[in-house]
Amino acid sequence: MNLAATIRATPAMACRPWSRHVVSPERWAALAEEAGLALLALWGEAQAVHALWRDAAGMLAVSLPVAEGRYPALSPRRPGAILFERAIADLWGHAATDAVDARPWLDHGRWQVTAPLSPRPPARPGGAEPVDFAAAEGLDQIAIGPLAGGIAEAGQFRLYIHGGVVARAEVRLGYLHKGVEALMRGKSPRAASRFAARLAGEAAVAHGIAFARAAEAACDVAPPPRALALRAVMAEAERIASHLADLAALARAGGVVLAAGPCERHREAMLRAAAQGFGHRLMMDVVVPGGLATDLAPQGGEALRSAVASLAGDLPGLARLCAGLARRLAGVAVTPPDTVSALAPGGPAGRAAGRDGDLRRAPGYRPYHDLNVPPPHETGGDAAARLAVLLAELRDSARMLRTLLAELPGGETVAALPQAAGEGFGWAEGPRGDIWTWLRLEGGQIAGAFLRDPGWLHLPLLAAAAAGSDLADWPVLRASFGLSQSGMDL
């Protein structure tokens, strides 16, 4: 019996749908050595740290009480833990012993206190400290951001260059830190769902679904069938709009501007149809714990059907326009196989590198059990493979959206949540990948929360793909990953 199976056999804390096991420091550290376990998330509370793992047997949630503000680092064996450990130190003050990187992540030295989520956050001595980047002996540096033109999100990219080749890339976020967990604490799940929807604009629906599912699991409440079907309608419409935006950005970065126009036109049509159906272009605040805040408007179904039919008719032509772009992207920004294996990323970036990860299929959630979500077919791990995944998923999402709209059940769209105590996990497959939410409720109010965006694992994957690439390919590389910086700034 391996360690994960041994832990699963021990008594556990009540949590739905997976129990949470309290482990010793020795077992916490040993899990990082376990073959076949993928680390999905790592977060903190006042007196503990928590981790969510996944293997062939399913999910494993573990917790470790923090003694004297320190706990064993997972990052020496699990590179995906690095950013989580840095964020835990910033927010809670828990330091990971022997961590690979102990620099601040969200805290740029401008907060009035340090460790703001700790029980007694100490005042910050002195003034603000400069953003810290790694040393670069013998390399030129190019700083990009944190401010950019247009409405681009704030984030700083530091490229270390040698002879026109990127030797190393480093990213620093935190400029969009929102204090989401502090804002959620003490509120009802219904009130706090607004913050989840605003974590990342391109995944407002997906983050809303993951949050709602966590609250429903904690309260042991099932939404009505119509609400589940309409959530999937919104999620697939959101996926289509996001993929079209990413394709347009990638086409422009790759110099194939003709392919960008149809993508932008169909994206606008989908956003307008979403506004007709649900009252908001990004469908914010429609998904709530227990179901939906509003039903599909009478004209919304026809608007969505029209938008998806127009897109489906143009997809063959769009694929032909992207054929030249695919040749330009072949061999560009390859994700190293060992890094893909170590990080176990999901979403289009992971599926383009051969990872079979899609939360709509496994662990799955309704109504996707009946919609035949196909497995990935790309293994190259380069920008061309990510382009192919986006095009394939557009076809699949268009098919599923048509099916969902044709088979919508009737009935209510919301179920009441009790004022109860409980703990639960929720998940959803967003446009960029797997989204996870953990909630702990006390008396019907949020006592603890963590929202995990796909970017936590995609950002280090982007940095790994940048190493060894031509500097001229940097815009293509960024566009091919389509990262949400806001989604990681909590």
For position 253, what pLDDT does the model report?
93
The CA distance from 420 to 46, in Å, is 22
Residue 335 φ then ψ, to 5°: -80, 120
Determine how many CB atoms are found less than 10 A away from the CB of residue 77.
16
For position 403, what pLDDT does the model report?
97
Using 50 as the pLDDT threshold, list the residues of the chain that sit under it. none
CATH 3.65.10.10 fits 182-454, yes or no: no
164 CB-contact burial (10 Å; exposed 0-12 / middle 13-18 / buried 19+): exposed
Cα angle for residues 2, 101, 76 (degrees, 5° grid):
25
For position 417, what pLDDT does the model report?
93
Cis ω for the linkage preceding 336 (within 30 of 0) = no
The CA distance from 172 to 78, in Å, is 20
Determine how many CB atoms are found less than 10 A away from the CB of residue 405.
21
For position 373, what pLDDT does the model report?
92
Residue identified by tokens 């110099």 is 255
For position 133, what pLDDT does the model report?
78
User: CA-CA distances (angstroms) from residue 483 to 97, 196, 258?
Assistant: 30, 18, 23
Residue identified by tokens 């009035």 is 112
For position 71, what pLDDT does the model report?
97
* Chain Cα centroid distance, residue 252: 24
pTM for the full predicted model: 0.96
For 134-155, letters b (16+ CB in 10 Å) and e give eebeeeeeeeebbeeeeeebeb
The CATH 1.10.645.10 domain(s) of the chain lie at 182-454
Which residue type sits at 44? G
String of DSSP letters for 121-181: PPBPPSSPPPPP----TT-EEEEE-SS-STTPPP-EEEEEEETTEEEEEEEE--TT---HH
The CA distance from 378 to 34, in Å, is 27
The CA distance from 477 to 382, in Å, is 9
The CATH 3.30.460 domain(s) of the chain lie at 3-132
Alpha helix ranges (H) inside 433-473: 455-466
pLDDT tens profile 157-175: 889 998 889 999 988 888 8
Are 300 and 307 in contact by the 8 Å Cβ rule? The answer is: no
Are 217 and 257 in contact by the 8 Å Cβ rule? The answer is: no
The CA distance from 266 to 246, in Å, is 12
181-186's contacts with Cβ under 8 Å and 24+ in sequence apart are 181/91, 181/117, 181/448, 181/449, 181/450, 181/451, 181/490, 182/116, 182/117, 184/446, 184/449, 185/446, 185/447, 185/448, 185/449, 186/445, 186/446
CATH number for domain 3-132, candidates 3.30.460, 3.40.50, 1.10.12, 3.30.1360: 3.30.460
